[in-house]
Structure 1
Amino acid sequence: MTHPQPHDLVGIGIGPANLSLAALAHTQPGLKAAWYEQRPAFHWHPGLLIEGATLQVPFLADLVTLADPTNPWSFLNYLRQHQRLYPFYFSERFHSPRAEYDHYCRWVSRQLPSLHFRHHIDAVRWNPEQALFDIDYTRLGPNGEAEAVGRSHARHLAIGIGTAPHIPEALRPLAERPVVPVVHSADYLDHREQLLEAGHITVVGSGQSGAEVFLDLLRRRPPGRERLHWITRTPAFAPMEYSKLGLEHFTPDYTRYFHALPEQRRDELVARQWQLHKAIDHETLAAIHDELYRHSIGGGWPDVVLTPGVSVRTAGRLGTTQVELHLDHAEQGERSRLVTEAVVMATGYRERPLDPLLAALDPVLRRDAAGRVVVDEEYRLVLDREVTGSVYVQNAERHTHGVGAPDLGLVAHRSATILNALTGQERYPLPERSAFTTFGLRRTGAGGAGPGAAGPSQGVRRVGV
């Protein structure tokens, strides 16, 4: 039996990564693609679109520009279509508001006919007889109920299911019984008014999200009666590495260098590079200090405690109105107890596991010494030779491609790399060099990696379009 009209590419998940791939693929003649997402529409971190919060990357790091500046889905064309080019020009903004980036992505998503929202992917299988992937899905109704089931077929897949809020083990007892307000920062705006009603609020975690939440709460509490605690495991409320040469860790050059390193060395590097992506923007730190200073006008210190170097050992509830956090201070070697009435867990995100989605492909997946999937330089999962289709991953490859994997500045380049690899043609010419820094003793060009890099998976069938 021949499957009707198989797609060249099916994307699973519609976040910025797969939205970028869809936008770049849309302009390619002869490429048949479809994208599935279980949510009803595109939204980018809606719980953190705090007033005044900006992206940590320049506006050029949109969905397409760094691969194709002439693409109709560029941020500048978005401004033009909304008659906002001159206001943007005079505002002299290099970093856009988060809410504007969300609105831009939603504008793109509404114009791409290949996107299918309210579709939950149930299973993915390789069909060796047809040399196709079978993708089973359930179409969801307005309230999330199952309406119908269906199946798509594709020569290749692109998995972009993103990340999920992470709750550390010590804080899970609080999150599992939400009587007192205990929320992850991802849901902050939905619960802000409830949090502000609490007599005392504690923010746990000092990445950018934690800093933005703390600043927003501080601005909304009266001077002298703030009653805010901010604690973090890191040894300081550290600034993001934002020097121009430091930012070259988010270039294709560094990605190629990192990919060519041995697995153990890559793991060591990621652990050490937290200040490249988990610290706090300088302007946010300055705004926090300015706000604390404003609260001190007239004498007296604000009722605020900021303590780095502290981890939560255990946590529990005290009746129905309070939470108890048991804290360890690493440098002092001391323990203490903190009673609070609300907690915001700014404890970051983790990549959603691929294993449940790709369970049927598990026997043919190559894994590294730590049991993680192996991803080649062109963002393909390395599969056994018998699978001639490719499975590309987006923002699930930090262990193979480095700290730039989730960075918006590399989204367009990764999408272009995938499309070039999938078609076997240079649909999007990519730069041979992108950094002044030479990482390692041997430079690697856009067409080849240095010693030790994993090559393309065997038996990949390109799309002749």
Structure 2
Amino acid sequence: MTNNHYDLIGVGIGPFNLGLAALCEPVDQINALFLEQKPQFQWHPGLLLENTSLQVPFLADLVTMADPCSQFSFLNYLRAKSRLYHFYFFEKFHIPRREYNHYCQWVAEQLSSCRFGERVEAITWEENRQDFAVKTKRVDGTHFTYHCRNLVLGVGSIPHTPACFQNVPSERIFHSAEFLHKRDRAYQCQSITVIGSGQSAAEVFYELLQAQETYGYRLSWHTRSQGFFPMEYSKLGLEHFSPDYIHYFHSLPQDKRDQLLAGQDLLYKGISFSTIANIYDLLYERSVADNYPDVQLASAMEVKEVEKAGNGYRLVYRHLHQNQPYTHETDCIILATGYHDKIPDCIANISHLIQWDEQKRYIVNLDYRLALTQDIPNQIFVQNGDLHTHGIGASDLGLGAYCNSVIINTLVGRSVYPVQQRNVFQQFGTLT
């Protein structure tokens, strides 16, 4: 095998592709390379706030659900960092988000297959070689071309900015994904408005609420959702984040999948009970002796227009129940409006090889291979871009090791990491 030809090249190094790299490490049959344009591993760096926790248990690390004995497990990270007893006395199943990020960096540093500071600019299919040419640009400006038999796209999702905000001067309009980097800019404003109703919106609002007495701004939290509701976190509800539900969901027609997803928001988009409790408790504490904080929470408010107004912005809402307009002025707007999948620009030259559905989305097989237009021995896999085909667990860290087990088993043609068939107590679909 030459030094620039691989069995598998991964585009992007987020938790899913990093987990794949870790699980590939002991597999001799797979010579893999993973490329990331960032200089080091960073997982949502703008939201690594203190006192925020991962929303899945620590067992949902990069490898444990596939190989509990792996050297890249979170528990082995704790041992390497002399934190096992600290964690033992911590007595929590959900770990700090900042520690999860540091754990992933620790894993990435040990994997020679992971290369940072190298942007994939274009991928082409070379018929004569029967492989993919992956053209990159490194931080020093040099270009390089690798070749591989198989690809795995793991670029993840990007922050979503609603259309009405996209053409507005945005010095003090930014996505929650940038919150830590631009928080000081918000602190200097006289009024701040957070838009959204998920976990990120709640965490940003709580951080701003805690600092409100120090900086003295007016604070608003608006959403078009019906309320500030908790995420479904019952044990039977969590069974939807299982291989069993993936199999059931994938077996459905695409129109039925889309219909199901539209009604499952609170399974993966709500707010944790603890965050809601923290917000409410602080509002209660601050309101003692009729000393109510300058805070406004409003739901069912859909933003229709945004425009500059002096040094700030004017928002025009429509109330979804009363169908009434409402105008609100603010100096700073933080958009906790979620993320959406983006087809990476680098695959433009091989898009003709990929089958697309009517909405220009990937058609993804159960084993995470993209359906192709040509019968070739090479495969293209996708990570965390399959919500429409594999269901609400597509981005769930707890399913990352399962997804990677399936990919590795498919590549090698045998069960390197055994996948259990029965993981839940309930049955999805017709009773048998």
Please confirm whether the aligned pair reaches a TM-score higher than 0.5, indicating the same fold: yes
Q: How does 1:172-211 map to 2 (within 5 A)?
A: 172-174=166-168, 177-179=169-171, 181-211=172-202
Q: How does 1:303-452 map to 2 (within 5 A)?
A: 303-319=294-310, 321-354=311-344, 356-441=345-430
Is it true that 1:246 corresponds to 2:245 in the alignment?
no
Is it true that 1:165 corresponds to 2:159 in the alignment?
yes
Equivalent position of 2:105 in the other structure: 106
After TM superposition, give the deviation of residue 9 of structure 1 in Å: 0.7
Equivalent position of 1:24 in the other structure: 23
After TM superposition, give the deviation of residue 124 of structure 1 in Å: 1.0
| Compared CA separation, residues 190 and 62, structure 1 to 2 (3 A) | same
Q: Distance in 1 between matches of 2:219 and 2:324?
A: 22
Q: Distance in 2 between matches of 1:229 and 1:314?
A: 17
Equivalent position of 1:96 in the other structure: 95
Q: Distance in 1 between matches of 2:295 and 2:382?
A: 43
Name the aligned partner's letter for residue 23 of structure 2. Answer: L
Partner-residue secondary structure (3-state), 1:130? coil
Name the aligned partner's letter for residue 113 of structure 2. Answer: S
Checking the alignment, whether the CA contact within 8 Å between 1:159 and 1:391 is kept in structure 2 is yes
After TM superposition, give the deviation of residue 6 of structure 1 in Å: 2.2
Unaligned runs of 5+ in 1: 444-465
Q: Distance in 1 between matches of 2:4 and 2:336?
A: 45
Partner-residue secondary structure (3-state), 1:410? helix
Name the aligned partner's letter for residue 343 of structure 1. Answer: I
| Compared CA separation, residues 162 and 79, structure 1 to 2 (3 A) | same
Provide the alpha-carbon RMSD of the alignment. 1.5
Equivalent position of 1:34 in the other structure: 33
Name the aligned partner's letter for residue 173 of structure 1. Answer: N
Is it true that 1:155 corresponds to 2:149 in the alignment?
yes
Q: Distance in 2 between matches of 1:160 and 1:392?
A: 9
Q: Distance in 1 between matches of 2:429 and 2:415?
A: 27
Q: Distance in 1 between matches of 2:46 and 2:353?
A: 38
User: For 2:260, which of 261, 265, 269 is the aligned residue?
Assistant: 269
Deviations 1:201-225 (A, max 9, x none): 1000111000000000000111995
4+ residue runs over 6 A deviation: none
Is it true that 1:285 corresponds to 2:281 in the alignment?
no
After TM superposition, give the deviation of residue 442 of structure 1 in Å: 5.3
Deviations 1:388-412 (A, max 9, x none): 2000000011110011001111011
Name the aligned partner's letter for residue 388 of structure 2. Answer: H
After TM superposition, give the deviation of residue 137 of structure 1 in Å: 1.1
Checking the alignment, whether the CA contact within 8 Å between 2:38 and 2:118 is kept in structure 1 is yes
Name the aligned partner's letter for residue 352 of structure 1. Answer: K
Deviations 1:104-126 (A, max 9, x none): 00010111011111111121122
Q: Distance in 2 between matches of 1:413 and 1:263?
A: 23
Name the aligned partner's letter for residue 399 of structure 2. Answer: L
Checking the alignment, whether the CA contact within 8 Å between 1:3 and 1:153 is kept in structure 2 is no
